[in-house]
Amino acid sequence: MASSMAYIALLCAALAAVVALLRWAYRWSHPRSNGRLPPGSLGLPVIGETLQFFAPNPTCDLSPFVKERIKRYGSIFKTSVVGRPVVVSADPEMNYYVFQQEGKLFESWYPDTFTEIFGRDNVGSLHGFMYKYLKTLVLRLYGQENLKSVLLAETDAACRGSLASWASQPSVELKEGISTMIFDLTAKKLIGYDPSKPSQVNLRKNFGAFICGLISFPLNIPGTAYHECMEGRKNAMKVLRGMMKERMAEPERPCEDFFDHVIQELRREKPLLTETIALDLMFVLLFASFETTALALTIGVKLLTENPKVVDALREEHEAIIRNRKDPNSGVTWAEYKSMTFTSQVIMEIVRLANIVPGIFRKALQDVEIKGYTIPAGWGIMVCPPAVHLNPEIYEDPLAFNPWRWQGKPEITGGTKHFMAFGGGLRFCVGTDLSKLQHYTVVERGTPSDKGRADREKVAVVVTADVRPVRYGRRRRGAGGSVAVAALPVAAKPAGRETAELCGRKHHRHLRLRSSGRSGSHQPAVTPLLL
């Protein structure tokens, strides 16, 4: 009798557990709302659709995750990422509205895993006065006045030096080369970076480890990409923390870089900054200043190799500038930079197609009624710029590289309904002008001004589906994986009379975009958290 009663009790407990589990799963998939929720699925309890969200995208097209759900649910749908309900918007009007309501109906927000990666006190997680204060601080370095008086010449010189260095090497990985060039320059301006110093020698390597696992499933155990990412952050922060300690111990140290200005803010009688906020700021700036631009430029080279007419038009514009110079070998001036309209159109098109920012996150501060749907308070919103930039209703033949589509249109200085590569609203990226300047310098210096020389000494280009490994090197037979061949002449003019050419003087050199033997993919970097 007792055993049968125990059996019944056990059965009832099991049944109650099953009912409770089913009820919990139902509530997960059917969350309460004061209005009509967008269509979509929240996926499995807790996990949601995280696995699908982090799946790599092997093309420059819209990610399969977003593309499939737009077809199924429309331009606005709900999902769940790392345990949080999120509304994804591919609707231009809704995206613009979200940006314009920053601090009123929405605020900047990122899933906890991204916050752990970039620091809980990073600039993207701060709001109100503190965010405005940090933005003003950063504009001391990235503002137009400093770009005009200092950074234009320094960026141009760094690009000329790198191209000259590459010309003397048998092989250079383009993505790594551009990343190193931009990192060396921006890190020097930010922290006085000197790779010859023992304490800084591994800093670039630490950021490389960080980037490799940036867009990965958040499983922090040894052997995973996410763990490698977190280890890279920890090691980079250790270097920055050591530099801060050294500088804080030198009260008479002059301001030589941006970090010194940050240290001065910390030394105030009543500082607004904390050491944690300062370190997270430096970490994010170092990442945002080079990686996203380097990836976009690598994709830009691929696009230029496939479109020789664009290269010809760039050459004509650059030759016209050089003809009007007193010294043809002098550096570019601000007036010349602002006058190159077609180069600006090329940069806009590269940025549109590169889609380095796959999503910009916000959080609803209250229930928001929009487009016939209700976004509950506390839910996340992911604005999806690639879905706008690749929308055929907005851009004719959106996957085509066509800089002329920007002809006659005014320069974009903020986020618009149809272009939001740098965000929008109050959080329009403060590094936008610097990024455009870096794009311009590589495009301008990488296009030879002598069409006859370019015809004689072409760079053969083999383009593969894998954008990540890009090498300047000698062409070898038997390299598989190529899907297209084109020609892009590339040259550099360093200071002085000698001209270093990547295409070589007597022997042909080749620009090879080839597979590394890994099942890699073009996975955009996460937004630089200045958005």
Burial class of 47 by CB neighbour count within 10 A (0 to 12, 13 to 18, 19+): middle
Q: Look at residues 414, 439, 417, 412 and name the one whose alpha carbon lies nearest to residue 428.
A: 414
Burial class of 396 by CB neighbour count within 10 A (0 to 12, 13 to 18, 19+): exposed
Query: In this structure, which amino acid lies at residue 74?
Result: G
Phi/psi for 77 (5° steps) reads: -150, 160
Query: In this structure, which amino acid lies at residue 93?
Result: E
SS3 360: strand
For residue 60, say whether it is annotated as part of any ligand binding site: no
CB 531 within 8 A of CB 360: yes
* Torsion of the alpha carbons at 170, 176, 182 and 185, rounded to the nearest 10: -70
SS3 47: coil
> 10 Å Cβ neighbour count for 489?
23
CB 485 within 8 A of CB 467: no
Calpha distance 497→476 (Å, rounded):
33
Known binding-site positions for heme: 429
Provide the annotated binding site.
429
